[in-house]
Amino acid sequence: MAEVNIYEGALDKGLEGVVACTTAISFIVGNTLIYRGYTIEDLSANSTFEEVTFLLWNNRLPNKSELESFKADLNKNMTLDAGFISVLKTLPTNVHPMAWLRTAVSLLSHWDSDSNDNSPEANQRKAVRLTAKMGSLVTAFEAIRNKREILNPKAGQSIAWNFMYMLKGSEPDAETVKLFDTCLILHADHELNCSAFATRVTTSSLSDMHSAMVSAIGALKGPLHGGANEQVMVMLAKIGTMEKAQQFVKDALAAKEKVMGIGHRVYKDGDPRAAILRKFSQQLTQKIGKPELYEMSALIDDTMQKEKGLMPNVDFYSATVYHAMGIPTDIFTPIFAVSRISGWIAHCMEQYEKNRIYRPRGKWQGKEGLTWKPADAR
């Protein structure tokens, strides 16, 4: 058999070290995360999720009038169609929310007149609708499974404000909205991660934007990607106390077991998003009277750094942040999707602009030279 020229370092290692495309959306340099030229520290301290979404899609920050128009467009597209809601209510809710969300986004395409139009103009309209409705879908799931009324978003309010309002049924305080909005910024994009790559692979076939988003949600659902934040909270609940946390770390190190939320494929000197979320975790767990959640997390974090040189990723502290906000644990990963859809759509748009279908090769390790025989002769 003819040899295939393969970069051997990537074989069975999740494409580690492989550069699969050129992109101008986001990039990791050392321990710095950049969105369109701006550091994550700068944007998280000064921007809003809506402004960052505009930046990711347009490669520039909006002026004041553009931002107000964009925010208004998102707001008016948050409401779910009554007929669509009727269909959503027929879906089983005894499933993981990410499985439900994957189906809901696929269904949403049937209520979108542009669903099969891949023109730049149609894609811009779909981008707004999908981003605006993602939070509404997640909160609708929570309402349906708890047999509560599905609330409509309030006019003039942000995605962060409306998400917390529709999730809990009461108007959120300004501090919670600001912190949650910052969380959305921190999760908006992250270069060519698993779900972004899934987005681009599906888009590269010139499939539609809804299909690309469904692919991304399916990838994000996995515990090695977006699902890790949920597993961190499960881990902390299982540990229970500071005393047990110390023993947990010792046992994990001895058994060489993976600690959820610790370590990252690209960052070796620390995830800058985790540093920001660590401060939020300390602040919010203190506020709700559960400082031990932060203290356990910090102990695990510090010990893993000292003993193994491994540092936390974005999932580690986001777990206690969302818990302190009163968000159900199994909604953590869907929140990731509420934010990351802005980045997925940016990757989708960029792929459409300079497309070639993804078609990698595999290194053959199977048998050769076999000859078929009838079943009774085998």
**Spatial contact of 25 and 197, defined as CB atoms under 8 Å apart:** no
63 found inside a domain? yes
374 found inside a domain? no
Tokens for 78, please give them.
């948050």
343 found inside a domain? yes
16 found inside a domain? no
Please state, in angstroms and rounded to a whole number, the distance separating the CA atoms of residues 238 and 257. Answer: 15
Residue 260 reports pLDDT greater than 50: yes
Please state, in angstroms and rounded to a whole number, the distance separating the CA atoms of residues 23 and 367. Answer: 39
Q: Structurally, how many domains does the chain consist of?
A: 1
| CATH classification at residue 124 | 1.10.580.10
Edge-to-edge strand list for the sheet holding 38-39: 26-29, 32-35, 38-39
231: helix, strand or coil: helix
DSSP H/E element including 38: strand 38-39
pLDDT tens digits, one per residue of 264-295: 878 878 899 999 999 999 999 999 999 999 99
208 found inside a domain? yes
Confidence of residue 1 (pLDDT cuts 50, 70, 90): very low
Residue labelled with tokens 């925010």: 71
Please state, in angstroms and rounded to a whole number, the distance separating the CA atoms of residues 159 and 155. Answer: 11
Please state, in angstroms and rounded to a whole number, the distance separating the CA atoms of residues 359 and 65. Answer: 43
DSSP H/E element including 65: helix 64-76
**Spatial contact of 337 and 134, defined as CB atoms under 8 Å apart:** yes
Please state, in angstroms and rounded to a whole number, the distance separating the CA atoms of residues 64 and 226. Answer: 33
DSSP H/E element including 29: strand 26-29
133 found inside a domain? yes
Confidence of residue 12 (pLDDT cuts 50, 70, 90): confident
Residue 197 is part of which domain span?
22-359
Rounded to 5°, angle at Cα 140 from 139 and 141: 90
Q: Mean pLDDT across the stretch 149-164?
A: 98
Tokens for 127, please give them.
């981008």
Please state, in angstroms and rounded to a whole number, the distance separating the CA atoms of residues 187 and 279. Answer: 16
289 found inside a domain? yes
Centre a 10 Å sphere on the Cβ of residue 81 and count the other Cβ atoms it contains. 13
1 found inside a domain? no
Residue 5 reports pLDDT greater than 80: no
Maximum average pLDDT range among 31-35, 242-246, 267-271: 31-35
Positions marked catalytic: 264, 315
Please state, in angstroms and rounded to a whole number, the distance separating the CA atoms of residues 169 and 172. Answer: 9
pTM of the predicted protein model: 0.93
Residue 375 reports pLDDT greater than 60: yes
